[in-house]
Chain A
Amino acid sequence: MRLNVLIGGKAGQGINKISEIVANVLTSLGYFTFNYRDYGSLIRGGHNFNVLSVSNKRVGSIESKLDGIVALDDLTIEKHKIELKKGGFVISYKGFENFERNLNVALSGALIKVLGIDKDLLLKELRKELNVPNAIEAAEKGYESEEKKFNFGKLKNKIKIMSGTEGVVQGFINSKADWYFAYPMTPATGVLHELGLRQNGKHKVFQAENEISVVNMALGCSFSGKRVMVGTSGGGFDLMSESLSFQGMSEIPLVVYLASRPGPGTGVPTYSTQSDLNVALRAGHGEFPRIVIAPGDPIECVEKVNEAFYLSERFKCLAIILSDKHLAESEFSSDRKPNKVLDVKIERDLPGQKIVRASSYEHDERRHTTEKPEVVKRMQEKRLEKYEKIKNFLQRNKVEMIKIYGNKNAKNLVIGWGSTKTVILDALDAIDKSIETRKGKWKFLQVLYLKPLSDEIKEEIEKVQEKKGRVIVVENNATGQLGRLIREKTGLKVEKRILKYDSRPFRSDELAEELRGMGK
């Protein structure tokens, strides 16, 4: 059972509140939800909408056909009625105008009623959060205005709602990180705000004058012995490039959170893409090791940010967490607890106690400047050796560099990374329940570590190719960056690709259709 409800209105009308109230109530009943947020780059007016997908099973995407629309204005109905299934419901703002700021609360009430949920659960949820006068009255009026259409009873699942942003924040806090430096840029700003609001003496946040300052402050702060992260999106990340290279030479630990939005240039600021994999892998002049990790859901954000801190400190290297707008700002349900937290210990010499030197200039082991060819060569090799060391460490400690879902012996292999993970899972289940039953014709290989890349990827592709099966890469970009990376590292060409680059995420039903057409 799966429902998709679109909630639309003008920016500032509070559509997020509706998704939040309804999703929280559904969560308390044990339903999984996924909330997609679609908004333009404006503060008031325009047309924003959320799509809330609800299921009794794990869900991490939305579908293209709607079961219902909640409209806070006429435009919402005009724009989206063609997506409505036959017999779909529409809850309109009409009749509730006098609730003004509580219009969204009233419509939440109406939607809860349509879903056939007890009013008490709604009121309980509202009392938990809202102290706005007349909110309860609005919710009750809304509730009474509609008829039950569905019957969402109680399930046993224990679920938590989390966005990718919250996952990153949790990973930061779990790592006992000390400082976050950033300059505002969607969609990384969520972490800046969240960490800013949660400053409580344990960690601190500073918004510097630009991204170049951000990353240089971060390197200085890390040098002094702190666990430090910076956050940005494509343009700001570009500005940091030279300093990432400085990191490579100075070997000062650094964690970078890169949340992508479509480029080039200013691009499509409030929408999503996976087009920054290349730049994450290669930004910065010269040759130096780094780690690039792409979590695929909020729980993985918690885990991978912690791993990034651990590895960057242990190997004195750059660790990039690659996310995007879709992962950062969508709200996911999860019934899984994150892996055990790795203790990020700082065990290097620190200024204040010793004379400690770090340099962007080529240097010898004492970190004094050098231009001697034999020293340059030796130091270059010393830095690059870390790449193998990191890879060995990850393999030895069974860190999840990839994950495989579905039928291990399936003929059809889908490969993806980052925010497409959950939509691929949903699409494969829509085809033949491959993920749920592990018995269908499909399996999914999720790449979590883009650098270093797991050797198992090659093995998996070869296994399927031997069987004359099908390998398909799915990416939210125009040039198939993961596919190219796989080819570069394994020599294997993945023939089939499904690429989406209109700045919007895949819909699971549409992706399922495309995959079905390609599968064997």
Chain B
Amino acid sequence: MVKANFNTKEEITWCPGCSNFMILEAVKRALASLGLKKEEVVMTTGIGCHGKIFDYIDIGGVYGLHGRPIPVAIGIKLGNPKLKVLTFAGDGDTYNEGISHFIHACRYNSDITLIVHDNRAFSLTTGQATATSQEGYKTKVEPKGEFLKPLNPISLALSSGASFVARVNAKNIEHTSKVLEEAIRHKGFSYVEVLQDCLIFNLEINNLDKLMYKVENRDNKERARKLAEEWNYDSKTGKIPIGIFYQEKRKTLEEEF
């Protein structure tokens, strides 16, 4: 079988060296490795740097609104459960503008895959703080630094009932693509939080790689919770687990219908 080539000819307008290139590569590898046909995979995207990926993968889909790619994806999946549906969203998209959709998607367990490009800033709007930006992050809005503590999206996903929860490092393309493969294969709502560097705005969060270590946990929710709490998105020390935090089998939204 000839594996599909997911490249497009569109001009890529991410900053040179942006970690979005690595996420793009990992996604294409995962799709190719799963042997999926272009027509059977569709994506939805939010608005932000991450959303530009809509033009860079040769599959169909919907380039939606800021904060709303999740409900669009659920709608597609309800309409045609045979499709594989991937959602590319930013941290601003997912944890700020559209956080209600994120929480409810975890509950619904619609069989879609959510990939959050978490650069811990609203990068396309020039770097304001998001819900996962660290305390003290200095922006034009908050010259003295962000005064709020970040939320922990992994803990939130677990307590909201996500049936597949993972976190990866964008720079580790190999690992990211393997986790993405599992996420796409998972029957139910799979959530992959991708920690990515931003070379222009939230510089402080770059190069956390040395703190990261791989874990794999499946059906032990207690352990998943503990792993999630090992790092609070704020500290620059300690350990940052990456890998699959949790996976469970549960009836999907589409099966309910």
Is the pair B76, A220 in contact by a Cβ cutoff of 8 Å?
yes
Which segment of B53-61, B135-143, B201-209, B243-251 sits at the interface? B53-61
Is the pair A357, B61 in contact by a Cβ cutoff of 8 Å?
yes
Is the pair B62, A358 in contact by a Cβ cutoff of 8 Å?
yes
Which B residues from 199 to 253 make CB contacts under 8 A with A?
A: none
Instruction: Tell me which of A217, A353, A369 contacts B72 (CB under 8 A).
Output: A217
Given contacts A223-B62, A358-B63, whether A352 and B75 have CB atoms under 8 Å apart is: no
Q: Shortest beta-carbon distance, A286 to chain B, in Å?
A: 12
> 1/0 per residue B41-63: CB within 8 Å of A?
01010010001101100111111
Question: Which B-chain residue is minimally distant from A216 (CB atoms)?
Answer: B71
Is the pair A243, B63 in contact by a Cβ cutoff of 8 Å?
no
Q: Shortest beta-carbon distance, A453 to chain B, in Å?
A: 30
Which segment of B77-85, B113-121, B126-134, B165-173 sits at the interface? B77-85
Q: Which residues of B contact A204 (CB under 8 A)?
A: 78, 257
Complexed CA–CA distance, A230 and B240 (Å): 43
Q: Which residues of B contact A210 (CB under 8 A)?
A: 100
Q: Which residues of B contact A488 (CB under 8 A)?
A: none
Q: Shortest beta-carbon distance, B31 to chain A, in Å?
A: 13
Is the pair B80, A368 in contact by a Cβ cutoff of 8 Å?
no
Q: Which residues of A contact B76 (CB under 8 A)?
A: 220-221, 223-224, 351
**B179 lies within 8 A of chain A by Cβ:** no
Q: Which residues of B contact A179 (CB under 8 A)?
A: 78-79
**B39 lies within 8 A of chain A by Cβ:** yes
**B175 lies within 8 A of chain A by Cβ:** no
**B64 lies within 8 A of chain A by Cβ:** yes
Q: Which residues of A contact B44 (CB under 8 A)?
A: 220
Q: Which residues of A contact B75 (CB under 8 A)?
A: 181, 216-224, 228
Q: How many residues of A contact B (CB 8 A)?
A: 43
Question: Which B-chain residue is minimally distant from A218 (CB atoms)?
Answer: B75
Q: Which residues of B contact A357 (CB under 8 A)?
A: 54, 60-63
Is the pair A352, B68 in contact by a Cβ cutoff of 8 Å?
no
**A178 lies within 8 A of chain B by Cβ:** yes
Instruction: Tell me which of A217, A219, A226, A355 contacts B60 (CB under 8 A).
Output: A355
> 1/0 per residue B77-119: CB within 8 Å of A?
1111011000000000000000011011000000000000000
Given contacts A223-B79, A224-B75, A352-B40, whether A216 and B68 have CB atoms under 8 Å apart is: yes
Q: Which residues of B contact A250 (CB under 8 A)?
A: 62-63
Is the pair A209, B100 in contact by a Cβ cutoff of 8 Å?
yes
Is the pair B39, A353 in contact by a Cβ cutoff of 8 Å?
yes
Q: Shortest beta-carbon distance, A43 to chain B, in Å?
A: 26
Chain A interface, DSSP helix/strand/loop, else mixed: mixed
Q: Shortest beta-carbon distance, B90 to chain A, in Å?
A: 15
Q: Which residues of B contact A218 (CB under 8 A)?
A: 75
Is the pair A369, B62 in contact by a Cβ cutoff of 8 Å?
no
Q: Which residues of A contact B71 (CB under 8 A)?
A: 208, 212-214, 216-217, 220
Q: Shortest beta-carbon distance, B117 to chain A, in Å?
A: 17
Q: Which residues of B contact A356 (CB under 8 A)?
A: 42, 60
Complexed CA–CA distance, A197 and B24 (Å): 44
> 1/0 per residue A343-377: CB within 8 Å of B?
00000001111111111110100001100000000
Is the pair B74, A217 in contact by a Cβ cutoff of 8 Å?
yes
Q: Which residues of A contact B40 (CB under 8 A)?
A: 352
**Most chain A beta-carbon contacts within 10 A, residue among B51, B58, B103:** B51
Question: Which B-chain residue is minimally distant from A181 (CB atoms)?
Answer: B75
Is the pair A225, B10 in contact by a Cβ cutoff of 8 Å?
no
Given contacts A213-B101, A216-B71, whether A351 and B83 have CB atoms under 8 Å apart is: yes
Complexed CA–CA distance, A75 and B68 (Å): 50
Q: Which residues of A contact B178 (CB under 8 A)?
A: none
Which A residues from 149 to 196 make CB contacts under 8 A with B?
A: 178-179, 181
Is the pair A360, B80 in contact by a Cβ cutoff of 8 Å?
no
Q: Which residues of A contact B78 (CB under 8 A)?
A: 179, 204, 206, 217, 220-221, 224
Instruction: Tell me which of B55, B74, B79 contacts A369 (CB under 8 A).
Output: B55
Complexed CA–CA distance, A209 and B83 (Å): 23
Given contacts A213-B101, A226-B79, A351-B83, whether A369 and B52 have CB atoms under 8 Å apart is: yes
**A242 lies within 8 A of chain B by Cβ:** yes
**B186 lies within 8 A of chain A by Cβ:** no
**A246 lies within 8 A of chain B by Cβ:** yes
Q: Which residues of A contact B257 (CB under 8 A)?
A: 204, 206
Q: Which residues of B contact A209 (CB under 8 A)?
A: 100-101, 103-104
Q: Which residues of B contact A361 (CB under 8 A)?
A: 47, 51, 54, 63
Instruction: Tell me which of B51, B79, B83 contacts A222 (CB under 8 A).
Output: B79
Is the pair A355, B79 in contact by a Cβ cutoff of 8 Å?
no
Q: Which residues of A contact B15 (CB under 8 A)?
A: none
**B65 lies within 8 A of chain A by Cβ:** yes
Q: Shortest beta-carbon distance, A100 to chain B, in Å?
A: 39
Q: Which residues of A contact B55 (CB under 8 A)?
A: 368-369
Complexed CA–CA distance, A369 and B38 (Å): 19
Q: Shortest beta-carbon distance, B192 to chain A, in Å?
A: 20
Complexed CA–CA distance, A218 and B64 (Å): 12
Q: Which residues of A contact B80 (CB under 8 A)?
A: 224-226, 350-352
Q: Which residues of B contact A216 (CB under 8 A)?
A: 64-65, 68, 71-72, 75
Is the pair B54, A351 in contact by a Cβ cutoff of 8 Å?
no
Is the pair A368, B10 in contact by a Cβ cutoff of 8 Å?
yes
**B73 lies within 8 A of chain A by Cβ:** yes
Complexed CA–CA distance, A208 and B103 (Å): 12
Complexed CA–CA distance, A242 and B74 (Å): 19
Q: Which residues of B contact A225 (CB under 8 A)?
A: 79-80
Is the pair A246, B39 in contact by a Cβ cutoff of 8 Å?
no
Is the pair A243, B65 in contact by a Cβ cutoff of 8 Å?
yes
Question: Which A-chain residue is minimally distant from B61 (CB atoms)?
Answer: A357
Is the pair B63, A360 in contact by a Cβ cutoff of 8 Å?
yes
Question: Could you name 21 residue pairs across A and B whose Cβ atoms are closer than 8 Å?
Answer: A204-B78, A209-B101, A209-B103, A210-B100, A213-B104, A217-B71, A217-B74, A220-B71, A220-B75, A220-B79, A222-B75, A223-B62, A223-B72, A224-B76, A228-B79, A250-B62, A252-B62, A352-B40, A357-B60, A357-B61, A360-B64
Residues of A participating in the B interface, judged by any CB pair closer than 8 Å: 178-179, 181, 204, 206, 208-210, 212-214, 216-226, 228, 242-243, 246, 250, 252, 350-361, 363, 368-369
Which 10 pairs, one residue from A and one from B, show the smallest C-beta to C-beta distance? A220-B75, A224-B79, A217-B75, A216-B71, A221-B75, A359-B63, A220-B72, A221-B79, A224-B80, A220-B76
Residues of B participating in the A interface, judged by any CB pair closer than 8 Å: 8, 10, 38-40, 42, 44, 47, 51-52, 54-55, 58-65, 68, 71-80, 82-83, 100-101, 103-104, 257
Query: Other than the known A217-B71, A360-B47, what 16 A-B pairs have Cβ atoms closer than 8 Å?
Result: A204-B78, A204-B257, A209-B100, A216-B65, A217-B78, A220-B74, A220-B78, A224-B76, A350-B80, A351-B61, A351-B80, A355-B58, A355-B59, A357-B61, A358-B62, A360-B64
